A and B are shown apart, each in its own frame.
Chain A
Amino acid sequence: MTEIEPDETVDSRGAACPGPLMDLIGAIRGVDSGAVIRLLSDNEQSHTDVPEWAEESGNELLAVEERDDHAAFYVEKA
């Protein structure tokens, strides 16, 4: 388990692609620089979508936490 404390959690479990990434982007829009968003997704595509977008946008993917039936992505807004 990561010890990162997110400022906001976005639960996109059950959402079809590209829902989780769009939920993350929407959350990043609404927070200040330095804030950490935790995205919960059970969509396999998020494992490629989220790192690709984080790199493209300059936001940092701090950690990916694998859980039983989903993953948690921690992204810090640049």
Chain B
Amino acid sequence: MTERIVIVGGGTGGSVLANDLADRLEPELDAGDVEVTLVNDGPEQVYKPVWLYVPFGQREPADGRRRLDELVDDAVDLRIDRVSDVDTDAKRLRFDDGPSMEYDYLVLATGSTLEPERIPGLAEGGHDYYSESGATELRDELLSFTEGEIVLSVVGTPHMCPAAPLEFVFMIDDWFRKRGLREDVEVTYTYPIQRVHGNPHIAEWARPIMDERGIDVETFFNAESVDPDAGTITSMEGTELGYDLLVSIPPHAGVDLIEEAGLGDDGWVDVNKHTLEAEAADDVYALGDTAATGVPNAGSVAHYQAGVVGERLASDVRGRPATATYDGKTLCFIETGMDAASFVEFDYENPPSPAPPSQKLHWSKLAYNESYWLTARGLL
């Protein structure tokens, strides 16, 4: 009997896992004992870290796109369709267009979506660099911005790439400074809790840099509404800030079908944070942003989790006890300007300790971004 593994979502986690399985289960795939299908709602993979550089005119959105059929091993069946329903009792997926599909093992790697409409006025008044259109529209504003108030507001958590809001204000500061405009631009950073980052170790590292560079900080700031005409953003805590350019990290959610399938709230799958198995259904895994593990929504997390899920699935298919577990490993470069960056590595047990910023780490980040497609192909 053929074991059918279906991966939903062709982002970092989905493509790394598909290629991992193509390699790990090569004998079973060749013999027809296993089928691996990767489902994505479009023909391309989007590498989102590129968007951080788009507003500064340093990257184009096309730099973050590649065809999935060029990234994924030929042994994997690629299906371009959108899943409309997950039935974990019948172990069946329904689709927008094509016929339904049954699975023996399901992996959900559907990622994050943006929901700016949750905050009145945010979609009209705010810009973002968490979407391709957001990044290009922000670029159109930022490249001609020479004076005024810029507010970077982290509205929703969890959000993709927790370091990116810090990176953006550090880059903005340096970018205007190098162009001799910094004195004409005020930069304010807002964060929902009492420090500047969710992780206390990163917050403790970042705050003095912000103070030193004149980046104003508003903590305990949970955006309640935006008035695009008046150019103001108001928090639940009663603080109102004026802005000339508002850049937000919009509220995030997973995809609706996860909640509809009873696998978790807000589109995040409740999982065992070590095995990445869904709590509410058998033979279902989640990885990347989709898995509610409490670790950052970051590509490195999806990458490492994909290796764990691949190893566990191979054990499952071969009838052996699955022993691979995820230890919370996360790697992250943090830009601290236009030509310097820090780096953190941490896991469930060991907290991050940001490396001293250097040009070498900045170039390491850019070099990794260029070579990311080797990761997607399962080579790096």
Q: Which residues of A come within 8 Å of B, CB atoms?
A: 15-19, 21-22, 25, 28-29, 49, 52-53, 56-58
Contacts and interface: CB of A to CB of B under 8 A. Distances in A.
B193 A18 contact: yes
B78 to A, nearest CB: 35
B198 interface: yes
Given A19-B294, A57-B236, A58-B238, A25 B222 contact: yes
A52 B237 CA distance: 12
8 contacts: A21-B193, A25-B222, A49-B194, A53-B193, A53-B194, A56-B237, A57-B236, A57-B238
What is the predominant secondary structure among interface residues of chain B facing chain A? Answer: loop
Nearest to B292: A15
Interface of B: 157-158, 192-194, 198, 200, 220, 222, 224, 236-238, 294
Contacts of B236: 25, 28-29, 57
What is the predominant secondary structure among interface residues of chain A facing chain B? Answer: helix
A57 B223 CA distance: 12
A25 B238 contact: no
B171 to A, nearest CB: 25
Contacts of B158: 22
Between A15, A18, A19, the greatest number of chain B beta carbons within 10 A of the residue's beta carbon is seen for A18
Contact of B237 (A15, A17, A18, A58): A58
B294 A15 contact: yes
Given A16-B294, A52-B194, A53-B194, 19 more contacts: A15-B294, A17-B198, A17-B200, A18-B157, A18-B192, A18-B193, A21-B193, A22-B158, A28-B236, A29-B222, A29-B236, A49-B193, A53-B193, A53-B220, A56-B194, A56-B237, A57-B220, A57-B222, A58-B238
